[in-house]
A and B are shown apart, each in its own frame.
Chain A
């Protein structure tokens, strides 16, 4: 009897790790397939064989090389990295607020970043005619922190989670309204860019921006991964975390800074993108059947990348040659997930 019990436990452990492995293998396969599809499909279709030649041997038709190296590849990498960062940012915020529907978009953090980026762009374009991507990231970070500050102030007064979300959505609306106002009255030819950006898109990234995005998101994600252990303790609640030796104040600060850096970076480069931050972490946790940060964080990053690349592919190709903005596509897939979470939560309460 006892032996049987131990065997079944060992079996459970095995089943669990097998599940983790399966999820990661599937994610990696999806990642590869979508990457190839993304390079392959477009106004100029490029065969897989050509793609391999262009990327690995750096030879082939010059136009095609240009398309791959200057347009499609940067865009794919951007979508992957920013998507990963966005989804991770959502996971960190959900941990922080202990709320599965918290995310940079619904809490108004993306919109705050959008506002400051728009202001900076207009101001800088009027003054000097150009802006560096680092300036934009910094501006976005400032905006994200202002929104976050608001949300924190509200959350100290409102313990009710849905009230917090409503407050976040309102902050988002206010920021968007001001952004629209500013964009409408700024009569610059470059405003077309600004307008496109403010709707959200992964297009038009040069290699410098890609590098910058990779570095910032990369560092922030690694730091977030290193916080795994504390996140695991914090999932039991603030007081339990403290009783296990977590410096809660420091940890909360780190959490909010990292999630702000991540969502600010994404917003600076690609504009506000909705629902990725909620939908992807939720789907990953369900797929892994675990909320262990040690597996959920890498899965969120990978899953966010895959999800955004997939949505970008649809945005590019669904109504080609005109492009959808990325939020349109992420909302279609992401919003139902949020509704599903809420229904599920309600059921669990009963």
Chain B
């Protein structure tokens, strides 16, 4: 563990002296990314505003390096910390280069005239986030994705030790989200810059963060490494997910399983069932899935979408119980779907189940688009 570069102790934040969130304690090392997640209006922005002195803190201390942030002159703070905010700025007649160059503000003389060295840093900052080709474009005339990158270049140009970003991926499409987060990842590793940001995309947060903090209610719901935070129940509680579920393995979100007893039994393995599950879920048909072992990717999805999953142990022939249960389902369900089974030496028993379904005239084969 390295030394914490930025940390809070017993921090309480809120508006107009009214505490909103209490006892916030977190810290980041150089080169680390800390992500704040939580539902809308939970106070992620309030925390970010408070630790950047946009908002007065109510109690507790924020440390930048060894020093209490409150005691550092604003200009000194500006040399160590820069921000990318959510507010839409609408500068008049400013090129992207002008915007980036404002990052030199804490370093220039009393009239703010850029030196050769400043210009070089502006150039380098724009190059490192790939916006040099935009430099003469009007800032108001570029796309959202480009705008965020220009603002990141501006933040870099301030040569900070830490950058705080408030929902930097809002308004961006998936390609630009990935691009921006990849850039942040690279910058933290290459330059040892610490990053604190808030994100809505929990799937991406899981993949880019060194640490995650869950903000909900009047305290910090959870704080730690992604492995300790991105658990099914933690995320469900955090966002109060009732109509669906969160899969911690892939960071994906699944819709809720259709209610009721299964009327369709889907037989599949090796991922062939997933599209059938999704189709049935969309149509609101309750279904059972099987016979799956936890190592099958069908299992990961069936778990969330099927009313019942017939389970068996991995790398073993099907258990007796699982075959029995499958037979019962073949009998009780209206339709049995073979979504594209691969049958080998450990799942020979599947042939019997298929034969039974065939005998009852319930078997259908193929993908959902061939099914009714």
Contact A294 B89 (CB under 8 A): no
| Chain A residue contacts of B89, Cβ below 8 A | 236-237, 240
Q: Take A237-B89, A289-B93 as given contacts and tell me if A244 and B108 are in contact as well, using a CB distance cutoff of 8 Å.
A: no
| Chain B residue contacts of A286, Cβ below 8 A | 93
Interface string of B107-125 (1 = CB under 8 A from A): 0101111000000000000
Interface string of A269-301 (1 = CB under 8 A from B): 000000000000000011001111010000000
Contact A228 B112 (CB under 8 A): yes
Contact A244 B85 (CB under 8 A): no
**Complex Cα–Cα for A237 and B52 (A):** 15
Which of B53, B87, B105 is within 8 Å of A229, CB to CB? Answer: B105
Q: Is B99 interfacial (CB 8 A cutoff)?
A: yes
Interface string of A24-64 (1 = CB under 8 A from B): 00000000000000000000000000000000000000000
Interface size class of B (residues with CB under 8 A): 35 or more
Which of A100, A237, A245, A285 is within 8 Å of B87, CB to CB? Answer: A237
Q: Take A235-B91, A236-B91, A245-B77 as given contacts and tell me if A294 and B135 are in contact as well, using a CB distance cutoff of 8 Å.
A: no
Q: Is A211 interfacial (CB 8 A cutoff)?
A: no
Which of A9, A228, A232, A290 is within 8 Å of B102, CB to CB? Answer: A232
Q: Is B106 interfacial (CB 8 A cutoff)?
A: yes
Contact B102 A236 (CB under 8 A): yes
| Chain B residue contacts of A233, Cβ below 8 A | 102, 105
Interface string of B54-91 (1 = CB under 8 A from A): 10000000000000000001111111011101010101
Contact A294 B83 (CB under 8 A): no
Q: Take A226-B110, A294-B111, A294-B112 as given contacts and tell me if A247 and B74 are in contact as well, using a CB distance cutoff of 8 Å.
A: yes
- Separation in Å of the A135 CB from the closest CB of chain B? 35
Contact A244 B87 (CB under 8 A): no
Contact B74 A348 (CB under 8 A): no
Contact A239 B85 (CB under 8 A): yes
**Complex Cα–Cα for A226 and B109 (A):** 11
| Chain B residue contacts of A243, Cβ below 8 A | 52, 54, 78, 81-83, 85
**Complex Cα–Cα for A122 and B39 (A):** 64
Q: Is A23 interfacial (CB 8 A cutoff)?
A: no
**Complex Cα–Cα for A229 and B73 (A):** 18
Q: Is A66 interfacial (CB 8 A cutoff)?
A: no
**Complex Cα–Cα for A92 and B38 (A):** 40
Interface string of A141-154 (1 = CB under 8 A from B): 00000000000000
**Complex Cα–Cα for A9 and B78 (A):** 29
Contact A242 B74 (CB under 8 A): yes
Contact A245 B106 (CB under 8 A): yes
**Complex Cα–Cα for A294 and B81 (A):** 26
**Complex Cα–Cα for A9 and B132 (A):** 10
Q: Is A206 interfacial (CB 8 A cutoff)?
A: no
Q: Is A12 interfacial (CB 8 A cutoff)?
A: yes
| Chain A residue contacts of B76, Cβ below 8 A | 245
Q: Is A71 interfacial (CB 8 A cutoff)?
A: no
| Chain A residue contacts of B73, Cβ below 8 A | 245
Q: Is A246 interfacial (CB 8 A cutoff)?
A: yes
**Complex Cα–Cα for A12 and B105 (A):** 22
Contact A240 B83 (CB under 8 A): yes
Contact A291 B83 (CB under 8 A): no
Q: Take A236-B89, A239-B83 as given contacts and tell me if A244 and B112 are in contact as well, using a CB distance cutoff of 8 Å.
A: no
| Chain B residue contacts of A240, Cβ below 8 A | 83, 85, 89, 102
- Separation in Å of the A87 CB from the closest CB of chain B? 16
Interface of A (DSSP majority class): helix
Q: Is B263 interfacial (CB 8 A cutoff)?
A: no
**Complex Cα–Cα for A289 and B74 (A):** 31
| Chain B residue contacts of A247, Cβ below 8 A | 74
**Complex Cα–Cα for A166 and B329 (A):** 73
Contact A9 B158 (CB under 8 A): no
Contact A236 B99 (CB under 8 A): yes
- Separation in Å of the B116 CB from the closest CB of chain A? 12
| Chain A residue contacts of B92, Cβ below 8 A | 100, 235, 285, 291
Contact A12 B136 (CB under 8 A): yes
Contact B87 A239 (CB under 8 A): yes
**Complex Cα–Cα for A139 and B87 (A):** 40
Residue of B nearest to A233 (CB): B105
| Chain B residue contacts of A290, Cβ below 8 A | 93-94, 98
**Complex Cα–Cα for A294 and B87 (A):** 25
**Complex Cα–Cα for A290 and B91 (A):** 10
**Complex Cα–Cα for A348 and B92 (A):** 11
Q: Is B322 interfacial (CB 8 A cutoff)?
A: no
| Chain B residue contacts of A245, Cβ below 8 A | 73-79, 105-106
- Separation in Å of the A143 CB from the closest CB of chain B? 30
**Complex Cα–Cα for A133 and B108 (A):** 41
**Complex Cα–Cα for A126 and B77 (A):** 58
| Chain A residue contacts of B78, Cβ below 8 A | 243-245
| Chain B residue contacts of A232, Cβ below 8 A | 102, 105, 112
Q: Is B128 interfacial (CB 8 A cutoff)?
A: no
Q: Is B42 interfacial (CB 8 A cutoff)?
A: no
Q: Is B140 interfacial (CB 8 A cutoff)?
A: yes
11 pairs, A vs B, C-beta closer than 8 Å: A229-B111, A236-B89, A240-B85, A243-B82, A246-B105, A285-B92, A285-B93, A290-B93, A290-B98, A291-B93, A348-B140
* Residues of chain B having any CB pair with chain A under 8 Å: 52-54, 73-79, 81-83, 85, 87, 89, 91-94, 98-99, 102-103, 105-106, 108, 110-113, 135-136, 140, 158
